Amino acid sequence: MISVRTLCKAHGARRVLVDVTAEVARGETIAIVGPSGGGKSTLLRCLNYLEGFDGGEVVIAGVTLRPAMTSAREREVLRALRTRVGMVFQQFNLFPHLTALDNLTLGPRVVKRADRGDAEAGARALLDRVGLGDRAGAYPHELSGGQQQRVAIARALAQEPEVLLFDEPTSALDPEMRDEVMAVIKTLAAGGMTMLVVTHEMQFATDIASRVWVIDRGGIAEDGPPAQVVGEPKTEVAREYFGRLR
């Protein structure tokens, strides 16, 4: 489903990603952990080309991403890719001028030219799925943080993606709201969605992840099942990172 080969990215002299190579199979859930500034978010954002990169390539959902995709044709390719690779942000980024329902239908209607009725029916089903069927007409500011993030997940799902990227989806939430969001992500994992989740919640990571990547200084320091990576970390950086979390 995803194949990352020698991915490199630098901000000036600072190397953000260094020869990252990895494979993700369909239905896997990857928890991406590691110290701040290690390149977790950057790696995630390269996968749907919200950020470009300088070297290597990514093959994701059948599309090959390369450095400097700026031509009109390549931009069309990227737009098509993004309907297949959804993203959920730390700050939710819901559209404040639209209701929850309209946040969900915007993508299908504008990008996929879906009929309004069909889009709304799909959106209502998705809101039901994240437990917010009764809040379809609410504006984002009328929802709690946890509710907003659940709407944001439903919005990403509305484009019927093959892969979902989560960039610290619970970091901006109070502890009691994290659970409701994590519960939604868990059901997605159980449903077989391919997901990459940048997170600092170790319990959550071990619960849902098929594999854990520890990212440090632009590279994948450890890659393995949670029991192995979290339980018996091999590298100093992983040991230190997990130690600090406990």
Partner 1 sequence: MRWCVRIWLAAVVACVASGACSSRDGGGTLAAVRERGVLTYGADLAGGEPYIYEDPADKSRVIGFEVDIMNALAARLGVRAEMKQFAWQNLVPSLERGDFDVAMNGLEATAERADRIRLSQPYFTFAETLAVRAGSPYKTLADLKGKRVGTLSQTVAHDILRAQPLEAVVYEGNVEPYLDLEQGRIDAVLLDNIIAQRYGCTSEHPTIVCLPDDVTRGTYIIGIRKADPELAAAIDSAILAMRADGTLEGILRHAGLWDARQTEPPPALADDSGVRAQAFDADQLQLFLKGAAITLAISLLAFLIAVPLGALLAVARVYGGPVAGGLARTYIELFRGTPVLLQLYVLYYGLGPYYSLGPIEAAVLGLGLNYAAYEAEVYRGALLAIPRGQSEAAKALGLGTWQALWHVLMPQALRGALPAMTNDFVSMLKDSSLVSVITVIELTKRMTIAAVDLRGWLVPGLACAALYLAMSLPLSELARRLERRLARDQRPHAL
Q: Looking at beta carbons only, is 73 or 141 nearer to partner 1? A: 141
User: Which residues 153-182 are close enough to bind partner 1 by CB under 8 A?
Assistant: 155-156, 159
Q: Are 136 and 102 in contact (CB under 8 A)?
A: no
CB of 98 to partner 1, least distance (A): 8
Strands 55-60 and 63-65 come out as antiparallel
**Binding of partner 1 by 107 (CB under 8 A):** yes
CB of 212 to partner 1, least distance (A): 24
Closest CA to 196 of 148, 161, 221: 161
**Binding of partner 1 by 121 (CB under 8 A):** no
CA–CA gap between residue 137 and residue 12 (Å, rounded): 46
Q: Are 186 and 208 in contact (CB under 8 A)?
A: yes
CB of 77 to partner 1, least distance (A): 11
Q: Looking at beta carbons only, is 2 or 81 nearer to partner 1? A: 81
User: Which span sits near partner 1 by CB under 8 A: 54-62, 134-142, 187-195, 233-241?
Assistant: 134-142
**Binding of partner 1 by 110 (CB under 8 A):** yes
**Binding of partner 1 by 106 (CB under 8 A):** yes
Host H or E run for residue 124: helix 116-129
**Binding of partner 1 by 122 (CB under 8 A):** no
**Binding of partner 1 by 75 (CB under 8 A):** yes
Closest CA to 145 of 103, 184, 174: 174
Three-state SS at 53? coil
Q: Are 146 and 181 in contact (CB under 8 A)?
A: yes
Rounded to an integer, what is the distance from CA 201 to the centroid of its chain? Answer: 15
Q: Looking at beta carbons only, is 93 or 210 nearer to partner 1? A: 93
Binding string, 25-44, against partner 1, x = CB under 8 A?
--------------------
Q: How many residues bind partner 1 (CB under 8 A)?
A: 27
Q: Are 162 and 119 in contact (CB under 8 A)?
A: no
CB of 92 to partner 1, least distance (A): 8
User: Which span sits near partner 1 by CB under 8 A: 21-29, 61-69, 90-98, 173-181?
Assistant: 90-98
Query: CA 230, 178, 195, 198: dihedral to nearest 10 degrees?
Result: -60
**Binding of partner 1 by 94 (CB under 8 A):** yes
CA–CA gap between residue 113 and residue 84 (Å, rounded): 15
The residues of the shown chain that bind partner 1, judged by CB under 8 A, are: 48, 50, 75, 79-83, 86-87, 89, 91, 93-97, 106-107, 110-111, 139-141, 155-156, 159
